[in-house]
Amino acid sequence: MVLKNDGSQSPFMPDDFAVGCDISIYGRVVRIYDCDEYTRAFFENQGRPQPAGQTPPKDNFATGQVKPVQKRDNEMKEFLEKSLGGGKVASQKQFLDNDRRVLRFFTLAD
């Protein structure tokens, strides 16, 4: 739980987040520049549609850290995991089915 910096000692709630706003968390100002489609649908159902996404500024460090994309062979990966005794456990199905079903905003900190 993160409390607001406005002195109210109340926690952040979903209504406090919106695309294009700045939020102060633990003394750091974070700008929300976009959100995913699930978050947009959630706020649309609440009667608070999110504005259009903004483009974040380019960061020289981040552009220098871009790694080349490697081709993934999912069948080989699964084969190697199972041969080493790993792989997906059937009891994790519910967890995997609900994966990525969270409210997600994309931010950039100064």
pLDDT tens for each residue of 20-57 = 999 888 888 889 999 999 999 999 999 989 999 888 87
Pick 100 or 13 by higher pLDDT: 13
pLDDT tens for each residue of 98-108 = 777 777 777 87
pLDDT at 43: 92
CATH classification at residue 43 = 2.30.29.170
The answer to whether 32 and 17 have CB atoms below 8 angstroms apart is: yes
Number of domains in the chain: 1
Distances in Å between the Cα of 86 and the Cα atoms of 32, 72, 83, 92 are: 38, 18, 7, 13
User: What is the average pLDDT score of the chain?
Assistant: 82
Number of H helices, E strands in the chain: 4, 3
What residues make up the domain containing 28?
1-59+103-110
The answer to whether 5 and 16 have CB atoms below 8 angstroms apart is: no
18 within domain boundaries: yes
Predicted TM-score (pTM) of the model is 0.51
